[in-house]
Amino acid sequence: MAQNPRTSDAEKSRTTDRNSGLSRRNYVRSLAVAATAVTTLGATGTTAATDDYEVIEAENQTITVDSGETWENKLIDMTTGQDIVITAHGSDWTIRNIGFSGENTSGTGSATFGVSDSGGSSTVENVYLGDGSDGRNGSSSGHGQTAFWVDPDHAGHIDFQNVNIQGFADNAIYASAPGNTGGGTIHIDRSFAANCYVSHFRLATEGSKVTNSCVLVDDDGYQGRGIWAWAPGTVEVENCQLEMNGQNTAIDAGANGQATTVVVRETDYDESAGIGEHDGSAVRLEDGVGTDPDAHVPDGVPTSAEEAAAGSTH
């Protein structure tokens, strides 16, 4: 059964508060809960190795990726019912070939990944978060589980490539907060997001864009916005398929009383879900924009946790 079909005024207020804060409240809360189990790249708790990847059981731990480091080829076992948080807040780091097996039922309301780049260029690629999270919340503010949260202080650039996020009870990629502080850019490319709440791809800064990617909302889960653009913009959308099946808004521009601009090219969006322009915002439809979307998993995007962890593609 579909859940949370539309964004209420109360929910808009909650997400506005989180976008403008110094940190995501539930993300920080998760770090506090995990304070006794902080790990680095060399010590990740209960693990098992295969020829292709390392298996890590979620045990409410935090894994930290530092500047210049690469964290790769991990399968995260979420069937423990506990949480795991991965943080990367330096510069020029890489997270690749990571698969999460099983629904996140921890109820912590955290962000699975908390990331930023302080001034260089970092990469997230070949990540599977397609098993989603349940609807429980970890705090009185009512936030559910977020897949990726980008810190407000993000000042560099992050490329998201070949990422699969489905069924999260909060944003899939929540990357609008740097519009208030750090001003860093985000490029989401060749990625897939489906049936998440609030929004799927959420951006704010000049130079940030979504390309060659798809969003699907159907009757199987949460029904958040397709793309949500915050100030100051301009945010670019190119060669995307936004299949909303009449749910919520395909492209939503503006929030928190501030205007932004979205430029859309070579993209199909669901006309019945439509476009939202708030607080003086503008969505500019340029060449090749249509209203017959066909969302699909782009070539190269992993469709299982094992596939992602092994570094293979469908």
Instruction: Give pLDDT tens digits for 226-236.
Output: 999 999 999 99
The beta strands (E) that lie in 111-260 are given as 111-115, 121-129, 146-150, 157-166, 173-174, 185-189, 192-194, 199-205, 209-211, 214-216, 225-233, 235-238, 241-243, 251-253
pLDDT, tens only, 77-121 = 999 999 999 999 999 999 999 999 999 999 999 999 999 999 999
Q: What is the largest CA-CA distance in the chain?
A: 54
The verdict on whether omega for the bond into residue 298 sits within 30 degrees of 0, i.e. cis, is no
What element of type H or E holds 26?
Answer: helix 25-33
pLDDT at 314: 59
Classified as helix, coil or strand, 210 is: strand
CA distance 32 to 37: 10
Tokens of 162: 């070949």
End-to-end CA distance of the chain: 28
Identity of the residue numbered 75: L
What element of type H or E holds 10?
Answer: helix 9-20
CA distance 23 to 19: 8
Nearby residues of 98 by Cβ (< 8 Å), 6 or more positions away: 71, 72, 73, 74, 75, 76, 86, 126, 127, 128, 308, 309
Which residues of the chain fall below pLDDT 50?
1-16, 21-44, 138-140
pTM of the model: 0.88
> Is 310:134 a contact under the CB 8 Å cutoff?
no
pLDDT at 70: 98
